[in-house]
Amino acid sequence: MWECNLYAYQNNLKTALNLSSATGVIVVNVEASGPAEKAGVLLGDVLVTFDGVTVGDTGDVLALLNSSDRIGKAVNVQVVRGGVLVELAIAVGERSTKEE
């Protein structure tokens, strides 16, 4: 799909990460040469929107990624990086069959 791992953060990380919202998921791994890396996603980014939808937790992201109408298309996402909102376009691929 994106070849990156995400972690839902708790409210106590909001201040530490300089975030204005208590929603989103932290990128904890980005696979080399995967769609996320190619789009510019970095370790520590906080994904806050996916294709215009606010992300609350990792389940939200998985549900959005599994939507068959997005596979093969680029989606716009917003990440918070160093307290700054950054917009990226990421190509959505088929889900990897390797064990996560």
CATH fold of the domain at 4-91? Pdz3 Domain (2.30.42)
pTM above 0.85, yes or no: no
Q: So what's the pLDDT on residue 99?
A: 46
Domain ranges of the chain: 4-91
Q: So what's the pLDDT on residue 21?
A: 65
Contact 2, 65 (CB under 8 A): yes
Q: So what's the pLDDT on residue 8?
A: 58
Closest CA to 47 of 69, 32, 29: 29
* pLDDT block averages, 10 residues each, the chain of length 100: 53 60 82 91 92 88 80 89 92 64
